[in-house]
Amino acid sequence: MGIRVKIHNVKNIDDFEFEIPTEKGLYALTGENGSGKSTVISCAAAAFYVPSFYDYFGNPREGAYINFDFEGKQRSVKEKDGRWQAPSRTEFLGITGFYEGSIVFGNRFKDIDYSLLGKLASVERENLNMASDFVRKSLGSILHDDEDYYKNLYVLKYEVVQKMKLQRTPYYYENKGSMISQLNMSTGENLLLTILYSIERRIKKVVYGETPAFMFLDEIELALHSSALRRLVFFLKDIAEKNNTVVLFSTHSIELIRSIAPEHIFYLQRHVDGSMETINPCYPVYATRNLESSNYGHDYIILVEDNLAKIIVERILREKRLLSNKRVLVIAVGGWTQVLRFAHDTIRSNLALSTTKILIILDRDIKDSVPGFIKNEQIGFSIEPNYLPIKSLEKYLLDKLTKNIDTTLFRELNDYLFQRKSLDIIVKDYMTGVKNNQYKDSEKINNGKILYEELKHELHQIRKDDADLVAIIVDYLFSSKSAEIDELTAFLEEILK
């Protein structure tokens, strides 16, 4: 269960609800320019600290509020008599964390003052201490893949920081006998040093209980090279895993988004009427509108919902030898409405070459809903969407493991995957939980998402993931020679041969 956030009349957001994840890991908040990413992440940070609301949000709109709900505890920031009213001391959610803002907010630019450059440049060597191993090695590893690159990194002594009335502690780097202050370093070095300093302070604090600490980072990719961004992702993932921390950052970076699991990507979709929704899971291709095509393009692009669909389609293409003399790209985009909208945008905006044909293959359970959606959205395709042999992975497993039990599939999964806690016990515990109203979301019960979450939880315990489960499902579908597989195969053969 996450931390529920309700935002009303804050900056350009009229009404929006978001759930802050509470399982340790790395998460990305993305969306187009002006979608509200920075506002949402700033609002979310009020869950554990009290920012200067006027600096972040300006004067409040009438009736503005940011409400939080977590494990029966509430917290609220709201407008009262034309002014922001901070949460009371009793409104504590029992969580802790820090927020690092983007160009305007946060610590990275607090002391930007032209007159300060000269003062920092005149600091004597005896007023410096050696920087911590954490900051020094992390900076070198992320920026240069060499933890000893900044072996001569120093930090200004605390008493000097106070005397100079600085709001943050600056670093110095000795290079060829010259001492360079943080403000004279490259933009990437400057920004990353401040973030590393904040992270170091955060991880030195103890996290009590099971709820993780939180790190919220806005536009973390500023001035970093793509190779440094990839190393930054691995660094943050390691920090999150080892320190029971949720790291949530807003970003436009394709490099960052590609490195995050779709389940951990939240895409802010702002519609023409000003309303907003969160798309999660969100596949990188949808979040970035990037087809990852080569300079030569593709003859066919097949858009599907998820990795199960991608693996099924790619297997048919291989087994039926449908890849000869043509370039075919299969992309997982996300939910079925995302696939249809993405396909329409790709065709309308010429994101693919004019000679590229776009094929759409969706989960079978929404087949009856597609015509109405296409009509309402006023979109159309020269090649009508086709459908997978199963409704969806979650619904398929719910049916085959609890309702119309497929003993062969059950045994396959039990023997080759669930060897720590047996599938029998997982399913029985799930059924008991449903009977005892342990799960509150009836929609997630009915569409199989709750059962799937229980299966994924056990997979994580044995250091496996969805890919292991999907591989067995795909093998089983093809070995059972279902009529739906034959139907999809015939469709692809007709189009591609």
Hey, what amino acid is at 60? P
User: Which residue in this structure is represented by tokens 């990188």?
Assistant: 284
Task: Grade residue 115 by pLDDT with cuts at 50, 70 and 90.
Answer: low
Q: Give me the pLDDT at residue 176, please.
A: 80
Mean pLDDT calculated for residue range 431-458: 90
Asked if 97 contacts 215 with a C-beta cutoff of 8 angstroms, the reply is: yes
Q: Which two tokens stand for residue 181?
A: 């202050």
Q: Which two tokens stand for residue 332?
A: 């997982």
Asked if 215 contacts 117 with a C-beta cutoff of 8 angstroms, the reply is: no
Check whether 247 has a pLDDT greater than 90.
yes
Least confident among 105-119, 138-152, 288-302, 357-371: 105-119
Q: What whole-number distance in Å separates Cα of residue 201 and Cα of residue 248?
A: 17
Task: Grade residue 282 by pLDDT with cuts at 50, 70 and 90.
Answer: confident
Question: If residue 258 lies in a helix (H) or strand (E), which one and from where to where?
Answer: helix 254-258
What rounded mean pLDDT belongs to the chain?
Answer: 85
Instruction: For residue 217, list its beta bridge partners.
Output: 100, 249
Task: Grade residue 7 by pLDDT with cuts at 50, 70 and 90.
Answer: very high
Of residues 99 and 1, which shows the higher confidence score?
A: 99
Mean pLDDT calculated for residue range 232-260: 88
Per domain, the residue ranges of the chain are 3-96+205-284, 114-195, 291-389, 393-481
Of residues 291 and 31, which shows the higher confidence score?
A: 31
3-state SS, 184-209, equals HCCHHHHHHHHHHHHHHHHHCCCCCC
Check whether 6 has a pLDDT greater than 50.
yes
Task: Grade residue 289 by pLDDT with cuts at 50, 70 and 90.
Answer: low
Check whether 21 has a pLDDT greater than 90.
yes
Asked if 338 contacts 327 with a C-beta cutoff of 8 angstroms, the reply is: no
Hey, what amino acid is at 173? Y
Of residues 481 and 487, which shows the higher confidence score?
A: 487
Q: Give me the pLDDT at residue 109, please.
A: 43
Q: What whole-number distance in Å separates Cα of residue 413 and Cα of residue 70?
A: 35
Q: Give me the pLDDT at residue 22, please.
A: 92
Instruction: For residue 178, list its beta bridge partners.
Output: 175
Task: Grade residue 106 by pLDDT with cuts at 50, 70 and 90.
Answer: very low
Check whether 372 has a pLDDT greater than 60.
yes
Q: What whole-number distance in Å separates Cα of residue 219 and Cα of residue 253?
A: 9
Q: Give me the pLDDT at residue 113, please.
A: 53
Q: What whole-number distance in Å separates Cα of residue 60 and Cα of residue 400?
A: 52
Check whether 488 has a pLDDT greater than 50.
yes
Could you read off the pLDDT of 36-85 as tens digits, one per residue?
Answer: 888 898 889 889 877 666 666 778 889 999 999 999 899 999 988 888 88
3-state DSSP call for residue 218?
A: strand
CA 373 to mean position of chain CA atoms: 27
Least confident among 105-109, 259-263, 368-372: 105-109
Mean pLDDT calculated for residue range 278-305: 75
Q: What whole-number distance in Å separates Cα of residue 63 and Cα of residue 56?
A: 17
Check whether 26 has a pLDDT greater than 90.
yes
Instruction: State the fold for domain 291-389.
Output: Rossmann fold (3.40.50)
Q: What whole-number distance in Å separates Cα of residue 132 and Cα of residue 138?
A: 10
Check whether 181 has a pLDDT greater than 90.
no
Q: Give me the pLDDT at residue 290, please.
A: 62
Instruction: State the fold for domain 3-96+205-284.
Output: Rossmann fold (3.40.50)
Check whether 103 has a pLDDT greater than 70.
no
Task: Grade residue 246 by pLDDT with cuts at 50, 70 and 90.
Answer: very high
CA 39 to mean position of chain CA atoms: 17
Q: What whole-number distance in Å separates Cα of residue 295 and Cα of residue 149?
A: 36
Check whether 104 has a pLDDT greater than 50.
no
